[in-house]
Amino acid sequence: MSFDFIFMLTTNDKTISDARAQLWEALAGGARHIGFKDIGLPFTALKLLAHDLRTAGARSYLEVVSLDSASELRSARAAIELGVDCLLGGTRAEKVVPLIRDEPLSYYPFPGEISGHPSTLRGSCADIAENARYLTSLDGVDGLDLLAYRHDGNVEALMQAVSKASSKPIIVAGSIDCEDQIAAVAAAGAAGFTVGTAAFQSMFKARSEGLAGQVQAIVELADKYCNSSIPDAHRPLTV
């Protein structure tokens, strides 16, 4: 079974300006799950990027970091128009689900209270877990996008609590920059994780320089910590 690494063409919660060029480096490194944010590039550029992802056969992810309601709903409509495979993030599931219900789009909203940019996760471990329980009970929500390492509490306890409360897959996103964190994400039973900024900053030990080497190193870590005991119900779709 798989433990999915989603490479994000982003730094500081924004899609990078040369995302289309960097995409090919990521593919060369072995990335097959690739995402971008709803801010950082104009929509016309995001359409070209989404087209490149489809052409490459990668599974595509749009992550919402806009904080206001109008922007979040606009991003959900953009995900439909872009034809991405997964919509990540956002906090207004009750409003988003009706928009995407009949679309071939998986949806993973944020549990907990999200604030600021780059986004941070607020609230007690118990409250976030309870919100995770509620969100994954909704028809039309396929899983959760958990900003575990953007929380100022006990991150491992938080991941364990959310994993226990959730009946659907969990992707851990944001600020993952080392092997120990990836190991902890896997141990908590998450189905996958995202890395963006840390790869561009060459934070991982790699056999070769450049982005392709960083992506390859993270792909190998995902394979290393793949846990076949994780229930199928906690796994996202894979390529």
Domain regions of the chain by residue span = 4-234
With 80 as the cut, is the pLDDT of residue 66 above it?
yes
Can you give the pTM of this predicted structure?
0.94
What is the model's pLDDT at position 229? Answer: 45
CA-wise closest residue to 84 among 46, 39, 115, 40: 46
Across the range 150-167, mean pLDDT stands at 97
Q: In the structure, what pLDDT confidence band is assigned to residue 227 with cuts at 50, 70 and 90? A: low
Phi, psi of 177 (to 5 degrees): -140, 15
Strand partners, 113: 122
State the fold for domain 4-234: TIM Barrel (3.20.20)
Across the range 38-50, mean pLDDT stands at 96
DSSP per-residue letters across the chain: ---EEEEESEETTEE-TTHHHHHHHHHHTT--EEEEESSSS-HHHHHHHHHHHHHHT-EEEEEE---SHHHHHHHHHHHHHHT-SEEEE-S-HHHHHHHHTTSS-EEEPPPSEEETTTTEEES-HHHHHHHHHHHTTSTT---EEE-GGGBSS-HHHHHHHHHHH-SS-EEE-S---SHHHHHHHHHTT-SEEEESHHHHTT-S--SSSHHHHHHHHHHHHHHHT--TTS-GGG-----
Q: In the structure, what pLDDT confidence band is assigned to residue 67 with cuts at 50, 70 and 90? A: confident
What is the model's pLDDT at position 2? Answer: 72
Q: In the structure, what pLDDT confidence band is assigned to residue 233 with cuts at 50, 70 and 90? A: very low
With 60 as the cut, is the pLDDT of residue 94 above it?
yes
CB 171 within 8 A of CB 193: yes
**How many residues are given for the chain?**
239
pLDDT tens, position by position, 184-213: 999 999 999 999 999 999 999 999 999 999
Residue-averaged pLDDT of the chain: 94
pLDDT tens, position by position, 102-154: 999 999 999 999 999 889 999 999 999 999 999 999 999 999 999 999 999 99
